Amino acid sequence: MVSSQFGWKKNPFSFRLMSDFFIGYNKEKMEVYQGLNNGDKFALLLGPTGSGKTTFMMYIQRAFRNYKLLFLPKPPKNPSDWIEIFNPVLGRPFPFFKRNISLYNLHERLNKKLGSKRCLVFVDECHEASVESLEWIRSIADQTENLSVMIAGLPVLEKNLKDSLETLLKRVTINVRLTNLTKSETRELIKKRIESHGGTDIYPFTNEVVDEIYEKTAGFPREILRICDDLVKKAVEKNMTTIDINFMKEMDTETTARVAIETVDRLPERQKTILKLLSSRGAMTPNEIADSAGGMQEYKDKGNAIRAMNNILKRLMDDGFVERDRQGKVYVYKVSGKLKTILVTA
C-alpha cells in the first residue's frame, strides 16, 4: 500500500478536499474575511477548473464558525428551491403546520429568524446557474439584513453576469480571481499534504521532481495532486522508495507509449494496415503502398487509389506516426521515430 511504503497514515494525494491546506492567496483571503465580516452582501470567486475555488470557500468558512453557514455544491436551477435551501435557517415547521413561505416573503421570514445573527451562503459552480435563480438570491440577499452570499464559478460567469444580470454584478464588492500557484507554493502544497499524513518534508519526491511537477501543471492544484498520486502509485508498483527525475521521465515515457498505443488501436483498419506494412518493409512510395495494402478494387482507377493513399498518409503524418523523405522526384514514407519508440517500449 502507498501509506505503508512511505510511512504515511494514508495516501495524502488521493483527491479529497482539505481546506486546512489551502496555499497562497493571502491578500485575497484577507479581503474576503474583512468584507464578509463587515457585512458586504456579495462576493464573486472566479477561477479555471482545478484552481481551488471549492477549497477556497471551505477555507473561508472556518473563520465564520459562529455564523449560520450554508454551502451549495451547485446552484438550484429552479428558483423555488431556495425556500428548501434556507430550511436549516428557518427550522422545520411543527407537524401538520403549514408555513406558507414563498419566494416573495422568504426575506421576511429570514429577517425574523436571524435577528442579529449572521448567515453566509456559499454557492459553487454558478456558471451553470439559471438567470432566474441568481436573480432571486440577489433579491433575497438585498432584503435580508444579515445575509451575505459568495458565488463561485469559471471565468465565464463574469461574462454571463455582464450580459444577463448586471444588477447582481454591480452589487459585488469582493472580487477574487484564482489563477495558479507559484513554484514555491507548489512545493508547500506537496509538503503540507505529506506532513499532514505522517511524512517528512517532500519525501519521497526530490526537489527536481517537485520543480518538474510545477512545470507540467503550471501550478494548478488539482493537476498537482493528480500527478503526485500517479507517481506514488507507480513507485509502489515498482517498489521504489525515492521518486527522482529519472523515475519520473521513465513513467512519462510509459504513459505516453500507452496512450499512443491506445490511439493506434483505435485507428481505422486501413491506417493500421499501412502502419504494419511500413513497419515490416521500411520506406515505400504511395504507389508501392497502394499496390501492397490491398483494397484497390474499392477505387475507380489507380489514380483515385493513389490520391486516397496520400490523404491517409497525411493523416498519419499529422498524428506523428509516419514521416516522409524526398528521393528524387518522389516521396517515400516510413514509420516515424515516435512510433518506433512506442513499439519498443511496449
pLDDT of residue 268: 76
- Is the CB of residue 55 less than 8 Å from the CB of residue 225? no
Residue boundaries of the structural domains of the chain: 25-177, 182-261, 267-345
pLDDT of residue 139: 96
pLDDT tens digits, residue range 56-109?
999 999 999 899 999 999 999 899 999 999 999 988 665 555 568 899 999 999
What is the value of pTM for the model shown?
0.69
Q: Quickly name the fold that domain 267-345 has.
A: Arc Repressor Mutant, subunit A (1.10.10)
Of 136-150, 154-168, 292-306, 320-334, the range with the lowest mean pLDDT is: 292-306
CATH number (1.10.3470, 1.10.150, 1.10.8, 1.10.238) of 182-261 reads 1.10.8
Sole residue written with cell 450554508: 70
pLDDT tens digits, residue range 178-217?
988 999 999 999 999 999 899 999 999 999 999 999 988 8
Grid coordinates representing 256?
505516453
pLDDT of residue 345: 46
Give the amino acid at 23.
I
Overall CATH class of domain 25-177: alpha beta
Does residue 338 surpass a pLDDT of 80? Answer: no
Give the amino acid at 147.
L
139 alpha carbon, distance to own chain's centre:
32
pLDDT of residue 272: 80
pLDDT of residue 346: 44
Provide the pairing of β-strand 119-123 with 147-153. parallel
Question: In Å, what is the CA distance from 128 to each residue of 52, 74, 82, 124?
Answer: 17, 8, 16, 9
Sole residue written with cell 435577528: 115
∠ CA 46-52-53, rounded to 5°: 40
Give the amino acid at 131.
V
